[in-house]
C-alpha cells in the first residue's frame, strides 16, 4: 500500500511540472491557433538560464525568475520574427518551431555542454519529510506540487473571474466576434504568448532541479506535454489540469508496475480515448 501511495505522490508531482508547460501550450493554440512546438525549447532555455543564475547567486527564487524571463524573451523573439509571418499555415508552424527547437538545443549544447546538470537547491528544499503512514518523501517534490497547485488556482481565477479571462475564453471560441466587439485581440495574443513562455521557462527551472537539465530534455518533456494537451483538449485550462494529472499518474504507475511497457501504459489509453473523444476530454468543437 505504501508503494502505491508513494507512486501516486510521484505522479502528482510530475503532473504539476507537466501542467506548468502544457497550460500555456494549450491556451496558445486555443486563442492564437499557433502550433508552437518550440515550447520544449523554452523549457530548456529557461532551465539553463535558471541554472546559470542559481550557480552565480545561490538564490533559487532569482533562478525561477530568470528562467521565466529568459523563456519569455525567447518566445517574444520567435513570435515577432517568425511565427507572425506564417499566418494560419499549421504545417509551416510545426516545421518552423521544430527548427527553433533544434537550434536552441544545439546552442545549449555548445554553451553549457552535453552533461546532465542539476540546479542547486536552497537548504529548505533539500532532504525528505515523513508523511503519515511512515512514507518518506522529498521536500522538493512537495514544493513542486505546491507550485503547480498555486499556478493552477491563479490561472483559473484569471481565466474564469476576470475580464481578461472572459476575453480569452471568448477568443478561444470565436476570435472574429471578439474582434468585432472592439477587444484588441493582438494584445490578448501578447499576454497569452508571454504567459505561456514564462510558465515554460519556470517549468524548465523546476524540471532542472527535479529531473536535471541537458540537451535533449526539451524533446522528452515536450512529448508528455503534447499528450497532456491531446488528452485534456486544446484551448481548455481545465483540460490541461486533468490531462496533466492523468498523464502524471499513468507515467508513475507504468514505470512502477511495468517498466518495459511504460510508454504503452501512457499512449494506449490516450489512443482509446481519442476513438471516443477526438477533441480530448474538454476540447471545443470550434478547435479546427
**Rounded mean pLDDT, 85-100:** 86
CA distance 73 to 54: 19
Query: Is residue 190 assigned to a domain?
Result: yes
Query: Is residue 32 assigned to a domain?
Result: yes
Whole-model pTM: value is 0.90
Query: Domain holding 264: CATH number?
Result: 1.10.3470
The cell numbers describing 9, all together, are: 505522490
Query: Is residue 159 assigned to a domain?
Result: yes
Domain that holds residue 145: 9-276
Task: State the pLDDT at residue 83.
Answer: 82
Task: State the pLDDT at residue 62.
Answer: 96
Query: Is residue 283 assigned to a domain?
Result: no
Number of domains in the chain: 1
- For residues 84, 286, 238, 33, the Cα torsion angle rounded to the nearest 10 degrees is -10
Q: Which of 254, 256, 206 is nearest to 19 (CA)?
A: 206
Task: State the pLDDT at residue 172.
Answer: 63
Query: Is residue 112 assigned to a domain?
Result: yes
Query: Is residue 284 assigned to a domain?
Result: no
Terminal-to-terminal C-alpha distance of the chain: 44
Query: pLDDT tens digits, residue range 95-126?
Result: 999 999 999 999 999 999 989 999 999 888 98
Task: State the pLDDT at residue 285.
Answer: 56
Task: List b or e across 211-222, with b for residues whose CB sees 16 or more CB atoms inside 10 angstroms.
Answer: bebbbebbbebb
Identify the band that residue 287 occupies on the pLDDT scale cut at 50, 70 and 90. Answer: low
Query: Is residue 288 assigned to a domain?
Result: no
Amino acid at each position: 500500500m505504501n508503494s502505491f501511495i508513494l507512486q501516486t505522490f510521484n505522479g502528482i508531482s510530475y503532473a504539476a511540472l507537466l501542467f506548468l508547460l502544457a497550460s500555456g501550450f494549450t491556451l496558445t493554440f486555443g486563442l492564437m491557433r499557433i502550433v508552437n512546438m518550440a515550447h520544449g525549447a523554452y523549457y530548456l532555455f529557461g532551465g539553463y538560464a535558471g541554472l546559470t543564475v542559481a550557480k552565480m547567486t545561490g538564490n533559487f527564487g532569482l533562478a525561477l525568475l530568470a528562467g521565466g524571463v529568459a523563456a519569455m524573451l525567447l518566445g517574444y523573439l520567435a513570435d515577432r520574427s517568425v511565427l507572425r509571418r506564417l499566418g494560419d499555415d499549421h504545417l509551416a508552424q510545426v516545421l518552423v518551431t521544430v527548427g527553433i527547437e533544434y537550434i536552441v538545443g544545439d546552442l545549449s549544447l555548445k554553451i553549457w555542454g552535453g552533461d546532465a546538470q542539476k540546479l542547486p537547491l536552497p537548504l529548505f528544499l533539500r532532504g525528505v519529510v515523513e508523511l503519515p503512514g511512515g512514507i518518506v518523501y522529498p521536500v522538493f517534490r512537495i514544493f513542486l506540487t505546491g507550485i503547480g497547485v498555486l499556478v493552477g488556482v491563479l490561472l483559473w481565477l484569471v481565466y474564469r473571474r476576470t475580464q481578461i479571462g472572459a476575453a480569452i475564453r471568448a477568443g478561444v471560441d470565436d476570435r472574429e466576434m471578439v474582434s468585432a466587439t472592439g477587444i484588441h485581440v493582438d494584445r490578448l495574443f501578447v499576454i497569452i504568448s508571454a504567459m505561456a513562455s514564462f510558465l515554460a521557462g519556470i517549468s524548465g527551472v523546476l524540471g532542472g532541479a527535479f529531473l536535471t537539465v541537458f540537451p535533449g530534455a526539451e524533446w522528452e518533456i515536450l512529448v508528455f506535454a503534447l499528450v497532456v494537451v491531446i488528452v485534456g483538449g486544446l484551448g481548455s485550462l481545465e483540460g490541461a489540469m486533468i490531462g496533466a494529472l492523468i498523464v502524471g499518474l499513468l507515467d508513475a504507475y507504468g514505470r512502477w508496475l511495468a517498466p518495459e511497457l511504460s510508454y504503452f501504459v501512457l499512449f494506449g489509453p490516450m489512443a482509446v480515448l481519442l476513438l471516443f473523444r477526438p477533441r480530448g476530454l474538454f476540447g471545443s468543437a470550434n478547435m479546427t
